[in-house]
Amino acid sequence: MDTSFFTTQNMKILKNEKCHVLIALFPCQSQINSYLQFSKQLINLGIEITLTVEGLSYAPFSDGYDDKFQLIPPLSPIDFPSFLFDNVERSNLKYPRVLVNTFDALESDDLRILKHVTMVGIGPSIPSIFIDDNTFRADMIEISSNNYMDWLNSKDKESTIYIAFDSYSKISIQLMEDIGHGLLKCGRIFLWVIRRRTRQVEVLKHPSVGCFLTHSGWISILESIASKVPIVAYPLWNKKVCNAKLIQDIWKNGVRVNISEGGVVKKDEFNRCITIVMGDGEEGIDLRSNVKNWSDLAKESMKENSTSNVNLKTFGNEILLGHNEY
Protein backbone atom coordinates (compact mmCIF):
# COMPACT_ATOMS: atom_id res chain seq x y z
CA MET A 1 0.00 0.00 0.00
CA ASP A 2 1.20 3.50 -0.85
CA THR A 3 1.82 5.38 2.40
CA SER A 4 2.95 8.64 0.81
CA PHE A 5 -0.39 10.25 1.69
CA PHE A 6 0.34 9.95 5.41
CA THR A 7 2.90 12.74 5.59
CA THR A 8 3.15 15.16 8.50
CA GLN A 9 1.78 17.99 6.36
CA ASN A 10 -1.21 16.00 5.17
CA MET A 11 -1.98 14.79 8.70
CA LYS A 12 -2.04 18.40 9.91
CA ILE A 13 -4.55 19.20 7.17
CA LEU A 14 -6.74 16.27 8.17
CA LYS A 15 -6.83 17.48 11.77
CA ASN A 16 -8.77 20.52 10.56
CA GLU A 17 -11.52 18.32 9.10
CA LYS A 18 -14.80 17.95 10.97
CA CYS A 19 -15.21 14.34 12.00
CA HIS A 20 -16.62 13.02 15.26
CA VAL A 21 -16.94 9.36 16.24
CA LEU A 22 -19.05 8.03 19.11
CA ILE A 23 -17.63 4.84 20.65
CA ALA A 24 -19.94 2.86 22.95
CA LEU A 25 -18.26 0.00 24.75
CA PHE A 26 -19.22 -2.83 27.02
CA PRO A 27 -18.23 -1.81 30.57
CA CYS A 28 -15.56 -4.36 31.45
CA GLN A 29 -11.89 -3.82 32.17
CA SER A 30 -10.44 -5.43 29.04
CA GLN A 31 -12.83 -3.54 26.76
CA ILE A 32 -12.00 -0.18 28.32
CA ASN A 33 -8.25 -0.42 27.76
CA SER A 34 -8.67 -1.78 24.25
CA TYR A 35 -11.02 0.99 23.19
CA LEU A 36 -8.91 3.65 24.88
CA GLN A 37 -5.99 2.60 22.70
CA PHE A 38 -8.23 2.53 19.62
CA SER A 39 -9.54 6.01 20.47
CA LYS A 40 -5.99 7.28 20.95
CA GLN A 41 -5.10 6.08 17.46
CA LEU A 42 -8.13 7.82 15.92
CA ILE A 43 -7.37 11.04 17.80
CA ASN A 44 -3.88 10.97 16.28
CA LEU A 45 -5.59 10.99 12.87
CA GLY A 46 -7.39 14.20 13.80
CA ILE A 47 -10.73 12.55 14.54
CA GLU A 48 -12.71 13.74 17.55
CA ILE A 49 -13.81 10.94 19.88
CA THR A 50 -16.57 10.62 22.44
CA LEU A 51 -16.19 7.47 24.51
CA THR A 52 -19.27 6.39 26.43
CA VAL A 53 -18.79 4.31 29.55
CA GLU A 54 -20.58 6.07 32.38
CA GLY A 55 -24.26 5.30 32.48
CA LEU A 56 -23.96 1.82 31.04
CA SER A 57 -24.86 -1.03 33.33
CA TYR A 58 -24.57 -4.79 33.22
CA ALA A 59 -27.53 -6.91 34.26
CA PRO A 60 -27.17 -10.67 33.76
CA PHE A 61 -30.31 -12.72 33.26
CA SER A 62 -31.22 -16.33 32.58
CA ASP A 63 -32.26 -17.54 29.13
CA GLY A 64 -33.53 -20.80 30.58
CA TYR A 65 -30.49 -22.78 29.48
CA ASP A 66 -28.05 -22.20 32.32
CA ASP A 67 -27.20 -25.89 32.68
CA LYS A 68 -27.29 -27.00 29.06
CA PHE A 69 -26.45 -25.76 25.60
CA GLN A 70 -29.31 -24.43 23.51
CA LEU A 71 -29.22 -25.73 19.93
CA ILE A 72 -30.46 -23.28 17.33
CA PRO A 73 -32.60 -24.58 14.44
CA PRO A 74 -31.06 -25.11 10.99
CA LEU A 75 -30.29 -21.85 9.20
CA SER A 76 -31.06 -20.97 5.59
CA PRO A 77 -29.55 -18.18 3.47
CA ILE A 78 -32.31 -15.76 4.41
CA ASP A 79 -31.18 -15.97 8.04
CA PHE A 80 -27.76 -14.46 7.23
CA PRO A 81 -26.71 -10.95 6.17
CA SER A 82 -27.05 -10.78 2.38
CA PHE A 83 -23.49 -9.59 1.83
CA LEU A 84 -22.16 -13.06 2.77
CA PHE A 85 -23.37 -14.63 -0.50
CA ASP A 86 -22.22 -14.43 -4.10
CA ASN A 87 -25.63 -14.21 -5.79
CA VAL A 88 -26.68 -10.91 -4.20
CA GLU A 89 -27.49 -7.86 -6.29
CA ARG A 90 -25.63 -5.02 -4.64
CA SER A 91 -26.04 -2.10 -7.08
CA ASN A 92 -23.22 0.36 -6.47
CA LEU A 93 -22.68 -0.32 -2.78
CA LYS A 94 -19.16 -1.13 -1.69
CA TYR A 95 -18.40 -4.18 0.39
CA PRO A 96 -18.92 -3.64 4.12
CA ARG A 97 -15.69 -2.89 5.94
CA VAL A 98 -15.16 -4.34 9.41
CA LEU A 99 -12.32 -3.28 11.69
CA VAL A 100 -10.91 -6.26 13.59
CA ASN A 101 -8.72 -6.17 16.67
CA THR A 102 -6.08 -8.51 15.27
CA PHE A 103 -3.04 -8.26 13.01
CA ASP A 104 -2.20 -9.72 9.63
CA ALA A 105 0.63 -11.96 10.79
CA LEU A 106 -1.67 -13.64 13.31
CA GLU A 107 -4.78 -14.15 11.17
CA SER A 108 -3.91 -13.39 7.56
CA ASP A 109 -6.11 -16.09 6.03
CA ASP A 110 -9.01 -15.51 8.42
CA LEU A 111 -9.20 -11.82 7.54
CA ARG A 112 -9.72 -12.73 3.89
CA ILE A 113 -12.09 -15.66 4.24
CA LEU A 114 -15.30 -13.75 3.44
CA LYS A 115 -15.48 -12.65 -0.19
CA HIS A 116 -17.98 -9.85 0.25
CA VAL A 117 -16.81 -8.41 3.54
CA THR A 118 -13.58 -6.48 3.84
CA MET A 119 -12.17 -7.36 7.24
CA VAL A 120 -9.28 -5.08 8.19
CA GLY A 121 -6.80 -5.89 10.94
CA ILE A 122 -5.98 -2.82 13.03
CA GLY A 123 -4.59 -4.50 16.13
CA PRO A 124 -3.45 -5.52 18.51
CA SER A 125 -5.40 -2.69 20.11
CA ILE A 126 -3.95 -3.03 23.61
CA PRO A 127 -2.30 -0.52 25.97
CA SER A 128 0.80 1.11 24.50
CA ILE A 129 2.83 0.10 27.55
CA PHE A 130 3.63 -3.07 25.59
CA ILE A 131 5.86 -1.12 23.20
CA ASP A 132 6.96 1.85 25.30
CA ASP A 133 6.78 3.24 28.84
CA ASN A 134 3.71 5.37 28.16
CA THR A 135 1.10 3.87 30.48
CA PHE A 136 -2.22 4.73 28.77
CA ARG A 137 -5.04 2.90 30.53
CA ALA A 138 -8.05 3.13 32.81
CA ASP A 139 -9.28 1.03 35.72
CA MET A 140 -12.95 0.22 36.34
CA ILE A 141 -12.28 -0.28 40.04
CA GLU A 142 -9.94 1.56 42.34
CA ILE A 143 -6.80 -0.40 43.10
CA SER A 144 -5.64 0.92 46.43
CA SER A 145 -2.51 -1.20 46.69
CA ASN A 146 0.03 -2.68 44.34
CA ASN A 147 1.60 -5.04 46.88
CA TYR A 148 1.29 -7.81 44.33
CA MET A 149 3.87 -6.01 42.17
CA ASP A 150 6.29 -5.86 45.08
CA TRP A 151 5.67 -9.57 45.57
CA LEU A 152 6.36 -10.29 41.88
CA ASN A 153 9.58 -8.27 42.12
CA SER A 154 10.87 -10.80 44.64
CA LYS A 155 10.35 -13.78 42.32
CA ASP A 156 12.69 -15.33 39.76
CA LYS A 157 12.29 -14.80 36.05
CA GLU A 158 9.41 -16.74 34.48
CA SER A 159 8.75 -18.59 37.74
CA THR A 160 5.19 -17.46 38.47
CA ILE A 161 1.80 -18.64 37.20
CA TYR A 162 -0.74 -15.83 36.74
CA ILE A 163 -4.38 -16.93 36.98
CA ALA A 164 -7.27 -14.65 36.01
CA PHE A 165 -10.65 -15.21 34.44
CA ASP A 166 -13.32 -12.98 32.93
CA SER A 167 -14.74 -10.39 35.33
CA TYR A 168 -18.29 -11.53 34.54
CA SER A 169 -17.72 -15.27 34.49
CA LYS A 170 -19.03 -17.44 37.29
CA ILE A 171 -16.34 -19.81 38.54
CA SER A 172 -17.66 -22.94 40.22
CA ILE A 173 -16.30 -24.27 43.49
CA GLN A 174 -15.38 -27.49 41.68
CA LEU A 175 -13.31 -25.61 39.10
CA MET A 176 -11.49 -23.69 41.82
CA GLU A 177 -10.72 -26.95 43.58
CA ASP A 178 -9.45 -28.51 40.34
CA ILE A 179 -7.18 -25.53 39.68
CA GLY A 180 -5.98 -25.56 43.28
CA HIS A 181 -5.16 -29.25 43.06
CA GLY A 182 -3.13 -28.65 39.91
CA LEU A 183 -1.23 -25.77 41.49
CA LEU A 184 -0.32 -27.82 44.54
CA LYS A 185 0.69 -30.77 42.40
CA CYS A 186 3.01 -28.75 40.14
CA GLY A 187 4.61 -27.04 43.15
CA ARG A 188 5.07 -23.68 41.43
CA ILE A 189 4.33 -20.24 42.84
CA PHE A 190 1.28 -18.42 41.56
CA LEU A 191 -0.71 -15.19 41.64
CA TRP A 192 -4.43 -16.02 41.51
CA VAL A 193 -6.88 -13.17 41.00
CA ILE A 194 -10.20 -14.22 42.52
CA ARG A 195 -11.62 -10.75 42.11
CA ARG A 196 -10.19 -8.32 39.60
CA ARG A 197 -7.93 -6.27 41.85
CA THR A 198 -4.80 -6.22 39.72
CA ARG A 199 -3.70 -4.40 36.61
CA GLN A 200 -3.39 -7.34 34.24
CA VAL A 201 -1.28 -5.42 31.74
CA GLU A 202 1.43 -4.76 34.33
CA VAL A 203 1.31 -8.30 35.70
CA LEU A 204 1.69 -9.97 32.30
CA LYS A 205 4.53 -7.66 31.39
CA HIS A 206 6.42 -8.49 34.59
CA PRO A 207 9.50 -10.70 33.93
CA SER A 208 8.64 -13.11 36.77
CA VAL A 209 5.44 -14.30 35.05
CA GLY A 210 6.00 -17.46 33.02
CA CYS A 211 2.48 -18.79 32.47
CA PHE A 212 -1.02 -17.33 32.10
CA LEU A 213 -3.99 -19.53 33.05
CA THR A 214 -6.90 -17.76 31.40
CA HIS A 215 -10.48 -18.16 30.23
CA SER A 216 -9.18 -17.44 26.69
CA GLY A 217 -10.80 -14.05 26.20
CA TRP A 218 -9.55 -12.26 23.09
CA ILE A 219 -8.02 -9.23 24.82
CA SER A 220 -6.28 -11.45 27.36
CA ILE A 221 -4.83 -13.49 24.49
CA LEU A 222 -3.50 -10.40 22.73
CA GLU A 223 -1.99 -9.06 25.94
CA SER A 224 -0.40 -12.43 26.65
CA ILE A 225 1.06 -12.62 23.14
CA ALA A 226 2.52 -9.12 23.40
CA SER A 227 3.98 -9.97 26.83
CA LYS A 228 5.69 -13.17 25.63
CA VAL A 229 3.74 -15.23 28.18
CA PRO A 230 2.58 -18.73 27.17
CA ILE A 231 -1.03 -19.69 27.88
CA VAL A 232 -2.89 -22.46 29.62
CA ALA A 233 -6.35 -22.08 28.10
CA TYR A 234 -9.49 -23.02 29.97
CA PRO A 235 -12.33 -21.71 27.76
CA LEU A 236 -15.41 -20.95 29.80
CA TRP A 237 -18.02 -20.33 27.12
CA ASN A 238 -18.99 -19.52 23.51
CA LYS A 239 -16.27 -18.11 21.22
CA LYS A 240 -13.55 -18.74 23.78
CA VAL A 241 -13.62 -22.41 22.82
CA CYS A 242 -12.51 -21.39 19.32
CA ASN A 243 -9.83 -19.14 20.84
CA ALA A 244 -8.44 -22.08 22.81
CA LYS A 245 -8.31 -24.15 19.62
CA LEU A 246 -6.22 -21.45 17.95
CA ILE A 247 -3.89 -21.21 20.94
CA GLN A 248 -3.06 -24.90 21.00
CA ASP A 249 -3.30 -26.06 17.39
CA ILE A 250 -2.72 -23.03 15.14
CA TRP A 251 -0.50 -20.50 16.89
CA LYS A 252 1.00 -23.09 19.28
CA ASN A 253 1.59 -20.49 22.00
CA GLY A 254 -0.08 -22.49 24.73
CA VAL A 255 -1.97 -25.63 25.67
CA ARG A 256 -5.66 -26.25 26.21
CA VAL A 257 -7.13 -27.89 29.28
CA ASN A 258 -8.93 -31.06 28.21
CA ILE A 259 -12.52 -31.15 29.42
CA SER A 260 -14.54 -34.36 29.25
CA GLU A 261 -18.27 -34.60 28.58
CA GLY A 262 -20.20 -32.95 31.33
CA GLY A 263 -17.52 -30.33 31.90
CA VAL A 264 -15.37 -32.54 34.13
CA VAL A 265 -11.62 -31.92 34.28
CA LYS A 266 -9.41 -34.90 35.05
CA LYS A 267 -7.61 -34.74 38.36
CA ASP A 268 -4.12 -34.00 37.06
CA GLU A 269 -5.07 -32.02 33.94
CA PHE A 270 -4.09 -28.55 35.17
CA ASN A 271 -0.79 -29.92 36.43
CA ARG A 272 -0.17 -31.53 33.02
CA CYS A 273 -0.78 -28.26 31.16
CA ILE A 274 1.31 -26.12 33.51
CA THR A 275 4.18 -28.61 33.40
CA ILE A 276 4.22 -28.52 29.59
CA VAL A 277 4.17 -24.72 29.43
CA MET A 278 6.79 -24.08 32.13
CA GLY A 279 8.84 -27.29 32.00
CA ASP A 280 12.06 -28.17 30.22
CA GLY A 281 10.53 -30.69 27.83
CA GLU A 282 10.79 -30.34 24.06
CA GLU A 283 7.14 -29.32 23.71
CA GLY A 284 7.53 -26.52 26.24
CA ILE A 285 10.75 -25.25 24.64
CA ASP A 286 9.13 -25.14 21.18
CA LEU A 287 6.04 -23.49 22.62
CA ARG A 288 8.03 -20.71 24.32
CA SER A 289 9.94 -20.13 21.08
CA ASN A 290 6.62 -19.64 19.28
CA VAL A 291 5.52 -17.26 22.02
CA LYS A 292 8.58 -15.06 21.43
CA ASN A 293 8.04 -15.02 17.67
CA TRP A 294 4.38 -14.01 18.02
CA SER A 295 5.32 -11.32 20.52
CA ASP A 296 7.83 -9.80 18.11
CA LEU A 297 5.23 -9.80 15.33
CA ALA A 298 2.60 -8.23 17.61
CA LYS A 299 4.93 -5.41 18.60
CA GLU A 300 5.85 -4.81 14.97
CA SER A 301 2.14 -4.47 14.22
CA MET A 302 1.82 -1.69 16.80
CA LYS A 303 4.52 0.50 15.26
CA GLU A 304 3.84 3.68 13.30
CA ASN A 305 4.24 2.32 9.77
CA SER A 306 2.93 -1.17 10.40
CA THR A 307 0.19 -2.74 8.31
CA SER A 308 -2.32 -2.35 11.15
CA ASN A 309 -1.65 1.37 11.54
CA VAL A 310 -1.73 1.97 7.81
CA ASN A 311 -5.04 0.08 7.66
CA LEU A 312 -6.50 2.31 10.37
CA LYS A 313 -5.21 5.47 8.70
CA THR A 314 -6.78 4.34 5.44
CA PHE A 315 -10.11 3.78 7.14
CA GLY A 316 -9.94 7.10 8.99
CA ASN A 317 -9.08 9.16 5.94
CA GLU A 318 -11.18 7.37 3.35
CA ILE A 319 -14.31 6.44 5.28
CA LEU A 320 -14.49 9.01 8.09
CA LEU A 321 -12.82 12.02 6.47
CA GLY A 322 -13.75 11.31 2.87
CA HIS A 323 -10.27 11.45 1.33
CA ASN A 324 -9.71 9.09 -1.58
CA GLU A 325 -6.59 10.56 -3.17
CA TYR A 326 -4.59 7.40 -2.63
Cα 151 to Cα 206: distance, rounded to the nearest angstrom: 11
- Mean pLDDT computed over every residue of the chain: 80
Q: What percentage of residues in the chain have a pLDDT greater than 70? A: 71
pLDDT tens for residues 126-168?
877 766 655 555 555 556 567 999 999 999 999 999 999 977 6
* Residue 26, pLDDT above cutoff 80: no
Question: Across residues 178-205, what is the average pLDDT?
Answer: 91
Q: Indicate the pTM of the whole model.
A: 0.79
State the pLDDT at residue 50: 84
Cα 317 to Cα 326: distance, rounded to the nearest angstrom: 10
* Most confident of the following: 20-29, 70-79, 221-230: 221-230
* Structural domains present in the chain: 1-59+79-126+309-326 (no CATH), 144-301 (3.40.50.2000)
What residue type is assigned to position 196 of the chain? R
By mean pLDDT, which of 129-138, 231-240, 309-318 is the weakest? 129-138
Tell me which of 237 and 266 has the higher pLDDT.
266
Q: Is the dihedral of CA 178, 243, 188, 282 positive or negative?
A: positive
Question: Across residues 29-58, what is the average pLDDT?
Answer: 75
